[in-house]
């Protein structure tokens, strides 16, 4: 009898566990590539920032679906009259995530904020050189010269002092590089001689807790039960890494994933026709462009760069790769952002003129490498196809191109290091400010191109314009300055602007609450499944 009772209890327990498992809601996102790591301060690729976003928060964040900053870990802030001091009052009771590798003993406080910023700012910080000591956004945006100091006023108050006024500063610290890490976790890792784990096993205050990562295959998260904005409606979030857009499409249509990014343009109509799916779309706040390394011959010659601008048939690229879902670019700002200079005259597609200019510059029978992007991005859905079209265009003007690519992480590392003669790259805005696009092509007045300046072109006049624009809060004055900067970029032609694309987000109709973000972010906070 006792055995029968125990058997019945065991059976009931098993049924109950199956019921709980059945009720657990898992959202599967078929992502387009593998992350470079899990440190939000280190990287600038959208693929990597998407995987850190569920884990972390910032003092200020961008309201989903807009470009407007809103309070987050800082519930309020004040700015001094001279625009140099920002005082942030932290939200009380915010808990760091409990994981299998860390259990916090206290809530968020000023020590965490000071540590997070000083890791990047202070070269003497014990974590500054961990994971390479290179901070793509922080350095590329000139933050080492902008932020003078970050200091604790009291346990719940932090003061950031700048060296000069910075008009977009509040929006800038809403970016992923300004994510707040746990100092308590950092101290634990330092004591265990495991500092590198801070960028491999992330701990934050965000809506989802990192569980594990199987390289090039899957990333798993669980809903954070202590999240300060409330526990999420989905229990588990899974990034199923699926590099081929055709395979992503097949998985979505088969119900193996719930959301996919960056469908091939040729597949959009079929996805729209599937009654189980919903396809969101919006103009992208983005730019695809081709870099020409100004430190390498013959790309140090502005006439060569202008000729290559005239050799690329953008309309053919739009037709073949985007099926019309893009517009030709003439500026490095998208036309959907304030500050766009529509008076700039686009270089015409004129291969005969381009060839003539190249010959006049002494460039004949040139052979060079052109790097194409190995993963789908919102601004470049098929890097190889774009590369083949560019290869054919350049052949018409006497340039033989070898197409080259690498794993995405390696591609970005080498590109930032200045190894590519010519390369595809692009950008989706992090914030709704022109500087977020234009700073990528500057050198902060140093004459030395930072990593994010992939064309390695420096111009002191351009740098001075960007600095002047950031130091005034008058948008009309800033627009006047950016107009001049855009014209200078056009005249110097360090890159070939290619397209601004439409962005499509197909998903299963059972997905509710997903907000398509103008900044290209993939946010799963607040998303539910029917």
Q: What residue ranges in 306-407 does DSSP mark as E strands?
A: 326-328, 366-371, 399-404
Cβ neighbours for 21, distance < 8 A, ≥ 6 positions apart = none
How does pLDDT run across 151-183, given as a tens digit for each residue? 999 999 999 999 999 999 999 999 999 999 999
How does pLDDT run across 33-85, given as a tens digit for each residue? 999 999 999 999 999 999 999 999 999 999 988 999 999 999 999 999 999 99
Q: Partners of 377 in the beta sheet?
A: 380
Helix axes 183-191, 110-121, angle to 10 degrees: 60
Q: What is the mean pLDDT of residues 264-279?
A: 96
DSSP annotation of 149 reads E
Q: What is the mean pLDDT of residues 253-277?
A: 96
Residue (of 416, 515, 518) closest to 45 by Cα position:
416
pLDDT at 81: 96
Round to whole Å and give the CA distance between 295 and 357. 20
Alpha carbon separation from 225 to 96, 206, 436 (Å, rounded): 11, 10, 34
Percent of the chain with pLDDT over 70: 96
pLDDT at 14: 41
Band the pLDDT of 24: cuts 50, 70, 90.
Answer: confident
Q: Higher confidence at residue 1 or residue 87?
A: 87
pLDDT at 23: 65
Q: Partners of 105 in the beta sheet?
A: none
Q: Higher confidence at residue 298 or residue 23?
A: 298
Domain architecture of the chain: domains with CATH: 26-240+510-529 (3.90.76.10), 286-503 (3.10.105.10)
How does pLDDT run across 356-379, given as a tens digit for each residue? 999 999 999 999 999 999 999 999
Residue pair 329/498 in contact (Cβ under 8 Å)? The answer is yes
């Amino acid at each position: 009898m006792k055995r029968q009772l125990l058997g019945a209890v065991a059976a009931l327990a098993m049924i109950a566990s199956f019921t709980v498992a059945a009720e657990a809601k898992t959202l599967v996102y078929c992502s387009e590539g593998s992350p470079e790591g899990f440190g939000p301060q280190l990287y600038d690729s959208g693929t990597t920032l998407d995987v850190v976003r569920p884990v972390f928060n910032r003092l200020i964040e961008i309201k989903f679906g807009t470009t407007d900053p809103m309070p987050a870990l800082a519930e309020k802030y004040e700015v001094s009259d001279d625009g140099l001091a920002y005082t942030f009052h932290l939200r009380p009771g915010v808990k760091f995530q409990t994981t299998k590798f860390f259990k916090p003993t206290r809530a968020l406080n000023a020590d965490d904020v000071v540590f997070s910023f000083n890791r990047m700012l202070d070269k003497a910080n014990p974590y500054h050189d961990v994971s390479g000591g290179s901070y793509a956004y922080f350095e590329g945006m000139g933050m080492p010269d902008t932020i003078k100091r970050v200091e604790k006023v009291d346990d719940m108050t932090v003061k950031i002092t700048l060296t000069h006024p910075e008009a977009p500063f509040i929006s800038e610290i809403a970016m992923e590089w300004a994510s707040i890490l746990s100092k308590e976790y950092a101290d634990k890792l330092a004591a265990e001689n495991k500092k590198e784990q801070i960028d491999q096993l992330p701990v934050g205050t965000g809506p989802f807790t990192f569980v594990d990562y199987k390289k090039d295959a899957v990333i798993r998260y669980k809903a954070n039960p202590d999240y300060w904005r409330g526990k999420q409606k989905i229990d588990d979030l899974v990034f199923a890494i699926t590099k081929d857009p055709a395979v992503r499409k097949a998985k979505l249509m088969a119900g193996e994933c719930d959301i996919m990014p960056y469908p091939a343009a040729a597949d959009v109509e079929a996805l729209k026709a599937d009654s189980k799916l919903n396809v969101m779309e919006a103009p992208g706040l983005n730019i695809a462009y081709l870099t020409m390394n100004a430190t390498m011959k013959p790309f140090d010659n502005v006439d060569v760069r202008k000729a290559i601008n005239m050799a690329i048939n953008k309309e053919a690229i739009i037709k073949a790769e985007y099926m019309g879902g893009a517009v030709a670019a003439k500026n490095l700002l998208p036309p959907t952002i304030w500050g766009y200079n529509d008076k700039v005259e686009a270089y015409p597609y004129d291969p005969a003129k381009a060839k003539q200019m190249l010959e006049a510059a002494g460039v004949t029978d040139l052979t060079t490498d052109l790097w194409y992007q190995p993963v789908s991005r919102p601004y470049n859905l098929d890097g190889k196809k774009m590369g083949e079209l560019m290869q054919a265009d350049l052949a018409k003007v006497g340039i033989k191109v070898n197409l080259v690519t690498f794993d995405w992480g390696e591609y970005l590392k080498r590109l930032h290091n200045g190894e590519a003669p010519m390369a595809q790259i692009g950008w989706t805005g992090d914030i709704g400010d022109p500087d977020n696009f234009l700073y990528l092509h500057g050198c902060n007045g140093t004459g030395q191109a930072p990593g994010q300046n992939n064309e390695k072109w420096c111009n002191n006049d351009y740098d001075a314009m960007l600095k002047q624009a950031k130091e005034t809060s008058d948008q009309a004055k800033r627009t006047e300055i950016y107009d001049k900067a855009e014209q200078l970029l056009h005249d110097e032609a360090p890159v070939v602007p290619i397209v601004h694309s439409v962005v499509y987000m197909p998903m299963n109709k059972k997905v509710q609450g997903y907000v398509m973000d103008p900044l290209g972010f993939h946010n799963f906070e607040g998303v539910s499944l029917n």
